[in-house]
Amino acid sequence: MTTRSATPLSKLPPDSGGAESGAGNEPRGLGPCCRKAIRAAAWLAGITALISVFYDGELVTLLRGDERLVPEARSALDATRSGLRVLAVGCAAIALVYGLLRRPRSRRGLAAFFALGLAAYFVVVLELLAAPLAPPQTTIFAPHASRGWALVPGARDEWMGVPVAINEQGSRGPLRAMPKPPGVRRVLFLGDSVTFGFQLEDDDDTLPARAEARLRALGVDGAETVNGGVGGYSPWQEVRLLVEEGLAYEPDVVVVDFVLNDVSEKLGLTRFGGSGQGFQLEHSRAAHGLAWRSNLVRYLVKLRAEASGSGERFERSDDLAALSVGDLLTRDDAPEVGQAWDRTLPELARLVAHCRQRGIPVLLVAFPYTIQLEHAELDAPQRRLAAFASEQGIELLDLAPVFREALAQNEGDLDALFLDALHLTPEGCEVASDAIARRLVDGLYLAQRPR
């Protein structure tokens, strides 16, 4: 009987079955690159969570250089903190998924994936952190050929943190029938953000809307108001708005709301020798390219503008572009103040002339800054407006005494009437609208219902 010699173990072919063969295909555990990726993702999750905790309103206010957390920054901060929490959860999920898969990975592929992920992480974090610091965007303003900017008909968006709706005629409030129906007594309000209703979400809280309600309460049947206020507007824009759109409403009277920054603010625009395009266009999405949608890009542009603008303003303190409302109040005899008024009153005279040609009376209303309510001697701008109104044969309604009386009745609570140095609360709009409505009735601008 022939005996076959055993084959050496080293020469046996690999077995394709059996328990021992399965052991060779089991996961080999995490490689060093995968372990590093898991640790990095876990660290990023923890760091992101900590940032979301400590990136609060106090820090944002400090970085913005504001005295308080303004509404637009508050809403952006809430979104940022929510985004950071989501990002932290995402990083933790990546770490968990890598740990559960436990499959070997190509070291080169893992390194490339991790590098891309890390870059994306930092871009997202910077975008989120820049959101409360960058100038907010809005779609309610768009460039305009003759007026610089205008409200976008039908736009619905936030403006400085407050939801705002623009009607299809390009103004706040209800649509108005054109031509004007019989029996309607229509008042066109022209002005800037005070008339528009800055920081007022409800259209019914705006000055023109409150004035309409007061006129009806005073017995003016068919009283309607049109809110022709646009943020940042001055008389040079208001006269164009009157001719291009306002006269089509067939107003029975035009109320021009004059705020002191109507004299100084426009001087920063390029068409008046300044270097800016206007606060509204600086925040308009329609006026910029795709890159402007980046919070980080807008924040860096803002920092650059502040760095260059602050130095120029300091060196050119006597230049018209640097003129402030404070100069109008305290340096009325300065040549540059006179020049600024000389660039403002002729446009106001043009507006009056257009109305006079059509037999439309004009009521000029002077809105005070809050400092004027505490210091009655700072009335130089109102004296200039009174002289202008006298020359033009129109009436001036100075609201400074009206607001002083209101303050005397509410124990001097400015915050009840003013949001800041010039913009009105709903209660402030009620005070102003009551005075305007009474003047329109008492001055026989509008006929009352027979009593």
Q: Per-residue pLDDT for 392 more than 50? A: yes
**Domain layout of the chain by residue ranges:** 32-130, 141-442
Residue 114 binned pLDDT confidence (cut-offs 50, 70, 90): low
| Assigned fold of 141-442 | Rossmann fold (3.40.50)
Looking at residue 305, its pLDDT comes to 59
Q: Do β-strands 156-159 and 162-165 pair in parallel, antiparallel, or remain unpaired?
A: antiparallel
pLDDT per position as a tens digit, 287-329: 666 666 676 766 776 676 566 543 333 233 346 667 899 999 9
Residue 105 binned pLDDT confidence (cut-offs 50, 70, 90): low
Looking at residue 396, its pLDDT comes to 98
Cα dist from 127 to 43, 122, 182, 287, whole Å: 20, 8, 55, 21
Looking at residue 89, its pLDDT comes to 78
Residue 16 binned pLDDT confidence (cut-offs 50, 70, 90): very low
> What percentage of the chain reaches a pLDDT higher than 90?
53
Looking at residue 112, its pLDDT comes to 66
Question: CB–CB of 188/226 below 8 Å?
Answer: yes
Looking at residue 311, its pLDDT comes to 35
Looking at residue 62, its pLDDT comes to 76
Q: What is the mean pLDDT of residues 377-383?
A: 97
Q: Which of the residue ranges 53-57, 101-105, 189-193, 384-388 would you say has the lowest mean pLDDT?
A: 101-105
pLDDT per position as a tens digit, 398-439: 999 999 999 999 999 999 999 999 999 999 999 999 999 999
Q: Which of the residue ranges 14-28, 44-58, 143-157 would you say has the lowest mean pLDDT?
A: 14-28
Q: What is the mean pLDDT of residues 198-224?
A: 97
Q: Per-residue pLDDT for 282 more than 90? A: no
Q: Which of the residue ranges 107-121, 216-230, 269-283 would you say has the lowest mean pLDDT?
A: 107-121
Quote the Cα angle for 268-388-235, to 5°: 35
pTM, rounded to two decimals: 0.74
Annotate the chain with three-state secondary structure. CCCCCCCCHHHCCCCCCCHHHHHCCCCCCCCHHHHHHHHHHHHHHHHHHHHHHHCCHHHHHHHHCCCCCCHHHHHHHHHHHHHHHHHHHHHHHHHHHHHHHCCCCCHHHHHHHHHHHHHHHHHHHHHHHHCCCCCCCECCEEEECCCEEEECCCCEEEECCEEEECCCCCCECCCCCCCCCCCCEEEEEEECHHHHCCCCCCHHHCHHHHHHHHHHHCCCCCEEEEEEECCCCCHHHHHHHHHHCHHHHCCCEEEEEEECHHHHHHHHEHHHCCCECCHHHHCEHHHCCHHHHCHHHHHHHHHHHHHHHHHHHHHCCCCHHHCCHHHHHHCCCCHHHHHHHHCCHHHHHHHHHHHHHCCCCEEEEEECCHHHHHCCCCCHHHHHHHHHHHHHCCEEEECHHHHHHHHHHCCCCHHHCECCCCCECHHHHHHHHHHHHHHHHHCCCCCCCCC
Q: Per-residue pLDDT for 35 more than 80? A: no
Q: Per-residue pLDDT for 24 more than 50? A: no
pLDDT per position as a tens digit, 175-209: 999 999 999 999 999 999 999 999 999 999 999 99
Residue-averaged pLDDT of the chain: 83
**Residue in 276, 274, 272 with CA at minimum distance from that of residue 316:** 274
Q: Per-residue pLDDT for 350 more than 60? A: yes
Looking at residue 410, its pLDDT comes to 92
Looking at residue 448, its pLDDT comes to 62
